[in-house]
Amino acid sequence: MVVPNTLLTRHGFAEVKGGVPITQKMRYGPSMDGEFQLGETLRGRRIVVAMSGGVDSSVVAALAKATGAETIGVTLQLYDHGAAVKRAGSCCAGQDIRDARAVADRLGIAHYVFDYESRFRDDVIADFADEYARGRTPIPCVRCNQGVKFTDLFGIARELGADCLATGHYVRRVMANGGAQLHRAIDPARDQSYFLFATTQAQLDYLRFPLGGMPKATVRAIAAQNGLTVAMKPDSQDICFVPDGDYAGIVKRLRPETAEAGEIVDMDGRVLGRHRGIAHFTVGQRRGLEIGGSPYPLYVVRLEPDARRVVAGPRAALAVAGARIEDLNWIGGDHAGPLLAKVRSMAKPVPAWLDGDHVRFELPEYGVSPGQAAVFYGGERVLGGGWIAETQAAVQAA
């Protein structure tokens, strides 16, 4: 099966020679393949596109321009750590800003850059270090979406008089039952709904996600056909402000106490060894413990930052029956009964029940850590989610 050329030509793009192969499961509907859900004609409309300098947001800008709407690209400068300025695959830093500007010039649209580096440092990077210092596993991408991107960027788009704010996220905005709903992307390998659970209904009413019904191959094909220099640019890193992948280095620099050495103990408190700082560990981690002589592999089961202690145990000790959720954001209407829960970005949603601020899993989940998010689904629809505050260990068979 190939992507119909009408998918591209309807947006004013040249035919893709030979077609782009996709799986049989891919589907393209009128609200999934680049439509901005602003009516039959977009002439006289204004669309603001959040442009990070990557291929995804660049194609959204191209799709918006092709509708006939006035299109404005907006880039937030969020950080500029020296090594990241020229590093491919980063986000919202030096080279990325130049790439976004080059795409805007190619498309003939206005492009504005706003400096939010101090806000990003205080609200996202500092929170990232604080969570590690508390022995939790942070998700800075969600914090960024909650704050800088879906709060400050909203304000900018509205000040510019935009009818909507469009982003390159791989999720779908589906109109059903008289309102906008957030759904998973058609391509499960690209779905980013886990990182957008904190989106409010008011934000969803204003947001547009034109790529949620496309595979990545189609997005890159559109970019190439339009001569966008970012067509083959690598995807951005999960944690954009860590240019060398050394998460612990940033945490230790901002929270020096996380570099203090301490004990590694087993589930009964017996000392197994020493560690060089809790900044190097998260729940579920196996590598880095450097403890020999155990009859079974050891994992990080719990962190006790006040005592500078790492608790290690067998994989079975990671089994979690449920968790308490805080700051729950619900956009699922009156959904009741069983649902699906996803507790890590790379995990598959699993059957669960939500009772107030507690989620209970049908089967034990592994590697669930305070600080991560629990996101709830009803089929393809995102119902909401919240932050995991504490977990309840699964009862082990005698």
Return d(Cα 181, Cα 373) in angstroms, integer. 20
Comparing C-alpha atoms, which of 267, 50, 14 is closest to residue 151?
50
User: Residues 282-309, buried b or exposed e (16+ Cβ, 10 A)?
Assistant: bbbbeeebeeeeeeeebbbbbbebeebb
Examine the residue annotation and report whether 240 is marked as an active-site residue of this protein.
Answer: yes
Return d(Cα 366, Cα 330) in angstroms, integer. 25
User: Residues 323-356, buried b or exposed e (16+ Cβ, 10 A)?
Assistant: bbbeebbebbeebeeebbbbbbbebebeebebee
Return d(Cα 224, Cα 120) in angstroms, integer. 32
β-partners of residue 47 are: 71, 164
- Find the catalytic residue in 91, 141, 144, 164: 144
Give kind and range of the element (H or E) at residue 204: helix 201-206
Virtual CA dihedral for 85, 91, 95, 96, nearest 10 degrees?
A: -160
DSSP letter for 238, please.
S
Examine the residue annotation and report whether 144 is marked as an active-site residue of this protein.
Answer: yes
Return d(Cα 130, Cα 201) in angstroms, integer. 29
Comparing C-alpha atoms, which of 364, 360, 359, 366 is closest to residue 387?
359
- Taking a C-beta distance cutoff of 8 angstroms, is the pair 224, 99 a contact? no
For 258, the token pair is 């996380």
- What is the number of helices (H) and of strands (E) in the chain? 10, 17
- Find the catalytic residue in 92, 141, 164, 240: 240
Comparing C-alpha atoms, which of 281, 30, 268, 49 is closest to residue 153?
49
CA distances from 221 to 52, 108, 275 (A): 19, 20, 48
Catalytic residues: 144, 240
